[in-house]
Amino acid sequence: MKQKALLIPYNSKGEIFIQDRTDYKPPPWGFFGGSIETGESHLEAVLRETKEELDLELSKDDVIYLGELHTQYSGVFTERYFYLYQTDQETFTVLEGAGGKWTSFDDAAHLFARDNKLAEIKLMVEKST
């Protein structure tokens, strides 16, 4: 089983900032974040991953825990812990992948190569904003 902590930057237009993973690693589009290291909480992981991938030094007070979703792809079970970062920052320094972009949940669904439970994630975001 894998465990991942993921950040969803969310702006006042109702858009999310997603990672362009083209030529980096599959899938081609996704959320910023990554694996939870041994002994690390999912909060600690999302803060570390945010620094590594977006060069943002966030604290626990900057993010809102949305909840977790479980997925299974190619026989691999993954627990994904989601955090919301509300911001109207227009650009980010993307350190991993080919960049990123602001998009609606509906447009993100067309970009993601596999079902990332976007409808459930959208509901989690809407409940916390």
SS3 for the chain is CEEEEEEEEECCCCCEEEEECCCCCCCCEECEEEECCCCCCHHHHHHHHHHHHHCCCCCHHHCEEEEEEEEEECCEEEEEEEEEEECCCCCCCCCCCCEEEEECHHHHHHHCCCCCCHHHHHHHHHHHC
Q: Which residue(s) pair with 50 in the sheet?
A: none
Domain count, the chain: 1
**What is the per-residue pLDDT across 53-93, written as a single tens digit (0 to 9) for each?**
999 999 999 999 999 999 887 888 999 999 999 999 999 99
pLDDT computed for residue 113 by the predictor: 65
Range of the domain at 61: 2-128
CATH number at residue 104: 3.90.79.10
- Rounded distance, CA 102 to CA 86, Å? 13
pLDDT computed for residue 27 by the predictor: 79
User: For 119-124, what is the mean pLDDT?
Assistant: 93
User: For 90-106, what is the mean pLDDT?
Assistant: 95
Q: Which residue(s) pair with 3 in the sheet?
A: 79
